[in-house]
């Protein structure tokens, strides 16, 4: 399976990064705890989140969904979106199309 998209990849990663950052303790995907995460400066945090978004994007090209700490990400090919569930009442929809 391959993710199909027509939006600029950088814009997709921006939105996916912002969505993933709302998942509580998303940094556990890097095997970090609160202390480790809080010791990073803003630039290092941005790089980590962007790397996670890139990894999740490519993982969703092979698997229909992926766990991210207490949340999840799911590729919905029919609608051309990635759905990021950050909590019971918070779902982000990242468009893959212009």
Residue 52 in domain: yes
Give residue 30's pLDDT.
87
Nearest to 74 by CA among 42, 45, 96, 46: 96
Specify if 1 maps to a domain: no
Centre a 10 Å sphere on the Cβ of residue 2 and count the other Cβ atoms it contains. Answer: 9
**Is 35 inside a domain boundary?**
yes
Model pTM?
0.93
Number of domains into which the chain is organized: 1
- Residue 21's domain comprises 9-95
3-state secondary structure 14-28: HHHHHHHCCCCCHHH
Mind listing the pLDDT tens digit for each residue in 8-45?
999 999 999 999 999 999 999 889 999 999 999 999 99
Mean pLDDT for the stretch of residues 87-96 = 95
d(CA 23, CA 96): 20
The per-residue pLDDT for range 44-75, each reduced to its tens digit, is: 999 999 999 999 999 999 999 999 999 999 99
Position 2 in a domain: no
In a domain, 38, yes or no: yes
């Amino acid at each position: 399976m391959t993710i199909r998209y027509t939006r600029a990849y950088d814009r997709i990663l921006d939105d996916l990064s912002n969505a993933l950052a709302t998942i509580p303790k998303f940094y556990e995907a890097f095997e970090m705890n609160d202390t480790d995460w809080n010791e990073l400066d803003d630039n290092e945090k941005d790089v980590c989140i962007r790397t996670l978004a890139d990894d999740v994007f490519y993982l969703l090209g092979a698997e229909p969904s992926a766990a991210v700490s207490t949340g999840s990400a799911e590729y919905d090919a029919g609608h051309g979106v990635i759905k990021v569930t950050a909590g019971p009442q918070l779902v982000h929809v990242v468009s893959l199309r212009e």
